[in-house]
Amino acid sequence: MSNYKVAVLSGEGQFEIKELELKQPVGKQVLIKVDSCAICTLEQRVYKGMMKYYPFAGGHEVSGTVVSVGEDVKNVAQGDKVAARLLTNCGECYYCRNGHENLCEISFKASTHEGLNGPGGLSEYMTVDAKSVFKLSDDLDLSYAALSEPLACCVHSIGQGNINLGDDVVVIGAGIMGAFHVMLAKLRGARVIVCELDEDRLSTAKALGADVLINSGKTDVSEEILKLTNGRGADVVFCTAALPKLADQAISLTGKTGRTVMYSSFHPKEPISLDVNRVHYSEMVITGSVNPLLKDFQMSTRLLSGGLINPQPLISASFPFEKISEAFEAAVDPKTYRVLVKMN
């Protein structure tokens, strides 16, 4: 059998390329030739040394083509374009059995490649269980398909926000996740208000469907939201930026019976103050959103395959596998949305 290459983060800013034996899938396994892997914030934090998971075979936003399947696989076949959900779940714990497999006790304990820790999408090939493989339309660009996972995360978040037709929805932060929230909230029939410091990102948000733009460095956001909502506050607020002070602001912008969704993980991890009487008297809901359910991933791939979501404006650059260090340097630039590593 031939070998294939896997990129492993061995230290801060350091990669090691491992060669592993390429084996044929058996049973419920699917062998995928990876086309594209997007560099998520998680991989960026490991690369920068903020999260020390070394050695780490990163990459969990992946698309590719099925090479071969085990004898028990029925949902995909050789030649199919696919995306892989690389978040693990055991199917046996309390959360899995209550329909919250995104909160499984082993969610972040992936080991896709034999002997290596991590989801392993930064590789030429990968073997995964059929249950984690989602078929895409034949005409979908595999570069776009690599964004199935981040879009699925935002699909889950939108579900947590429970948007109704005509709702006033505030999205704090207009990075890639904020941008996906804008597009999805518009599909739900909301008026979308985006709060962001960067004018270029505000322009992108407008192009993707945002109805109202607020430069939070130049405008009193709270005053503007009250003005736009006749003093009520927003029906739903999504905090997609990682700063604790913005989490505080998200709650303050939410009106009576409204929902605040903490989409982002926060670094540094600092507490915020909370007026619990305001929560009591307003019946507002404050919740979080982490990881996509299986149904969220299914919905994401259908949105992409059907052309209902076009992620092209959110792909900032693509690099070949041989230039993976350059790809990561581009990805950690706050001006970028998603940077892809192309494995072909």
Per-residue pLDDT of 242-293, as tens digits, reads: 889 999 999 999 999 999 999 998 877 889 999 999 999 999 999 999 999 9
69 pLDDT higher than 70: yes
- The pTM of the full predicted model, rounded to 2 decimals, is 0.96
pLDDT at position 64: 98
- What stretches of 163-291 show up as alpha helix (H) in DSSP? 176-187, 199-207, 221-228, 244-253, 276-282
Tell me the pLDDT tens digit for each residue of 78-89: 999 999 999 889
Q: CA 23 to CA 263: how far, in whole Å?
A: 38
Report the alpha-carbon distance of residue 326 to residue 8 in Å, rounded: 15
Residue 1 has pLDDT above 80, yes or no: no
Fold classified for 3-147+311-342 = Quinone Oxidoreductase; Chain A, domain 1 (3.90.180)
Question: Closest by alpha carbon to 84, among 33, 48, 41, 25?
Answer: 33
Distance of alpha carbon 221 from alpha carbon 215, whole angstroms: 8
pLDDT-derived band at 137 (thresholds 50, 70, 90) equals very high
Domain at 154-288, CATH from 3.40.50.720, 1.10.287.110, 3.40.50.620, 3.30.2140.20: 3.40.50.720
Q: Averaged over 157-162, what is the pLDDT?
A: 98
Domain definitions of the chain by residue range: 3-147+311-342, 154-288
pLDDT value at residue 268 = 76
Phi-psi region of 310 (alpha: psi -120 to 50; beta: other; left: phi over 0): beta
